[in-house]
Amino acid sequence: MSSPWWRGATLYQIYPRSFADANGDGVGDLPGVTARLPYVAALGVDGIWLSPFFTSPMRDFGYDVADHLGVDPLFGTGADFDALLAEAHRLGLKVVIDQVWSHTAAEHPWFVESRASRDNAKADWYVWADARPDGSPPNNWQSWMGGPAWRWEPRRRQYHLHNFLPQMPDLNFHCPAVQDAVLDIARHWLDRGVDGFRLDTANLYFHSRGLEDNPPLPEDRRGDAPVLMQQHRHNADQPEAPAFFERLRALMDRYGERMAVAEIGGAEPLPTMVAYTQSTQEVQRLHTAYSFAFLGDRPDAAQVLRCLAPWGEGAGRDAWPSWAFSNHDAPRVASRWGDGAAGAFAFGGRADGRPVAAGATPVTWLALLLALRGTVFLYQGEELGLPQSTLAFEHIRDPYGLANWPLNPGRDGCRTPFPWQADAPQHGFSRAARTWLPVDPAHAPLAVDRQEADPGSTLHATRRLLALRRAHPALRLGSLQALMAEGDVLVLRREHGEGAHRDALLLAFNLGATPATLPWPAAAATRAEPLFTHAGAARRGEQLHLPPGAVLVAPLA
């Protein structure tokens, strides 16, 4: 295929703290990741997304960066990262690294200087504002970690903005020097040889200079936390952002086929995803973006199509989406949508939407994810069907979970150590007597060694599905047409190419717990037996039988 490598690619997210511990201190590290890369390559993915490993006080476990160019000793050394990069490339894996640019740790030298006075060289590098006459914060903006998004700094006698923890001050992207410094960070890692960036909270880079109050959400759309009770009209999704992304894209294009994927939060992320990734011959923005669209309650067939619709019309035709069903910020999809506890969505959301589907399995969700048009992110353990872990309060480390226990236990339940061996100490993750989060006994039967020995396991199904996606341009790059979307039944047609190079597939899913029988789609004549089936899906004459959780993939004539 002549298309860039990242279009339609599948990237495997590695959360280093929890993947593999090489030095035995109970925390995963870069040498541990390097040692396990052959396993990742054998899945059939195109590359990895590596969560932060930079120098950090670890209040938010690496998403509070104190040195964007340094490797935190907890994870290893710069040489360890270079070795990881070399081994990944040897195995044919691309390496995309997290970049946290919307904010820094309070310990970052930039902030230490900026907070010292109002007239130093970096005085405008962060978002500072005077108090109201009564001493209260300048507006009503709320932090995603709880409480107002402003913290008083006595050295300057001003407030600084923090969309997350108070010790994570927001950078001021309206300052040209900040943009230049961020691009220098990008240049450093591109020179180092990375293949791309995942841009954390990319729609929070800019804020409204007027610092206006955010309006309230309508009552029927409000969440359970203050941050979910207002429209983020003035502290997110600002019109200045695309111009910065054009600068970043111009830099990255000088390095060949590199890619940047933006994380887009918020209640209505799809228009922002399109705006940030819309590229034409005249204007080049980010390569792709993903959102939390599929990281909340279970969708029905129509909701899946609504998420996919913007990329088939209007400005979306010149944009490219990415999708994830699990990551380090959300309860695992096997529990959230499948036969298990739904779990509250991280950062104060609610789990009062569609109920879990008792008939669906992790393979159901994997097949759906890999059928979507776009680039795909697979979270470590998703290929094993790992359920969400439940931790006792004394084991919680996530600052959000500590603040909101017991209503919301936070994000630790999706970050417990990876189970490599069912019967080994710490499931083969570490030789330490105690790990940073406890291993989950419920994960032992799903460990890699157990699933390797079972041809019917989720792990083997994942490899078959990834091989199917790699082999079929229709899945990686093709158009998407909905043949049916009723209730929990979704039937898609994916197609790419013409004539002898045409590749066309039928994909049918039952996302719910009720069996479905429907006429074989008239527009879907098939020339061969199905390429993949799950949970008893079958064509019987001119009927398609889809038991709960069933999946069928068939070639089309």
The string of pLDDT tens digits covering residues 427-450 is 999 999 999 999 999 999 999 999
In angstroms, the CA 552 to CA 363 distance is 12
In angstroms, the CA 381 to CA 418 distance is 7
**Residue 555: is the preceding peptide bond cis (ω within 30°)?**
no
Q: Which of 401, 428, 463 delimits the end of a domain?
A: 463
Percent with pLDDT over 90 in the chain: 89
Closest CA to 120 of 149, 160, 154, 155: 155
Mean pLDDT of the chain: 94
**Is 87 among the catalytic positions?**
no
One domain, residues 513 and 424: no
Token look-up 């417990």 returns: 416
pLDDT at 358: 75
Residue 532 corresponds to which tokens in the numbers above?
Answer: 């993949």
One domain, residues 447 and 485: no
User: Per the residue annotation, which of 263, 297, 383, 440 is the catalytic one?
Assistant: 263
pLDDT at 344: 43
One domain, residues 487 and 455: no
pLDDT band at 524 (very low <50, low <70, confident <90, very high): low
Q: What is the mean pLDDT of residues 193-221?
A: 97
pLDDT at 527: 63
pLDDT at 343: 44
**Is 200 among the catalytic positions?**
yes
pLDDT band at 522 (very low <50, low <70, confident <90, very high): confident
One domain, residues 458 and 510: no
In angstroms, the CA 543 to CA 195 distance is 46
pLDDT at 150: 98
One domain, residues 538 and 391: no
User: ∠ CA(331), CA(335), CA(337), 5° rounding?
Assistant: 95
> Does the pLDDT value for residue 421 go beyond 70?
yes
Closest CA to 11 of 418, 319, 509, 369: 369
> Does the pLDDT value for residue 376 go beyond 70?
yes
One domain, residues 181 and 271: yes
> Does the pLDDT value for residue 529 go beyond 80?
yes
Contact at 8 Å (CB) between 517 and 525?
no
Residue 334 corresponds to which tokens in the numbers above?
Answer: 């096997």
Task: Centre a 10 Å sphere on the Cβ of residue 135 and count the other Cβ atoms it contains.
Answer: 8
> Does the pLDDT value for residue 217 go beyond 70?
yes
**Domain assignment present for 36:** yes
Q: How many domains does the chain have?
A: 2
3-state secondary structure of 112: helix
What does the DSSP assignment read for 387-450?
PPP---GGG---HHHHHHTTT--TTGGG-SPP-S-TTSGGGGS-SSSS-SS---GGGGGGSHHH
Helices 78-90 and 176-192 pack at an angle, to 10 degrees, of 60
Q: What is the mean pLDDT of residues 187-199?
A: 98
pLDDT at 342: 40
In angstroms, the CA 40 to CA 270 distance is 30
In degrees rounded to 5, what are phi and psi of residue 482? -85, 120
pLDDT at 2: 74
Q: Which of 436, 463, 490 delimits the end of a domain?
A: 463
**Which structural domain range is residue 29 located in?**
10-104+174-463
One domain, residues 203 and 276: yes
Task: Centre a 10 Å sphere on the Cβ of residue 228 and count the other Cβ atoms it contains.
Answer: 19
**Residue 406: is the preceding peptide bond cis (ω within 30°)?**
yes
**Domain assignment present for 490:** yes
One domain, residues 391 and 364: yes
pLDDT at 327: 98
Contact at 8 Å (CB) between 451 and 445?
no
pLDDT at 345: 45
Residue 60 corresponds to which tokens in the numbers above?
Answer: 């938010």
> Does the pLDDT value for residue 268 go beyond 90?
no
Residues 18-29 have pLDDT tens digits of 999 999 999 999
pLDDT band at 523 (very low <50, low <70, confident <90, very high): low
In angstroms, the CA 141 to CA 338 distance is 35
Most distant pair of Cα atoms in the chain: their distance: 78
One domain, residues 425 and 507: no
Residues 290-349 have pLDDT tens digits of 999 999 999 999 999 999 999 988 888 889 999 999 999 999 999 999 864 444 444 434
pLDDT at 504: 95
Judge residue 523's burial from the number of C-beta atoms within 10 Å of its C-beta, 0-12 exposed, 13-18 middle, 19 or more buried: exposed
What is the distance in angstroms between the CA of the first residue and the CA of the last residue of the chain? 21
Percent with pLDDT over 70 in the chain: 96
One domain, residues 304 and 425: yes
Residues 73-102 have pLDDT tens digits of 999 999 999 999 999 999 999 999 999 999
Which of 174-183, 235-244, 279-288 is least confident?
279-288
Query: Helix %, strand %, coil % for the chain, to 5?
Result: 30, 20, 50
Sheet arrangement for strand 128-129: 128-129, 158-161, 150-153
pLDDT at 404: 87
User: Per the residue annotation, which of 21, 64, 200, 440 is the catalytic one?
Assistant: 200
309 DSSP assignment: G
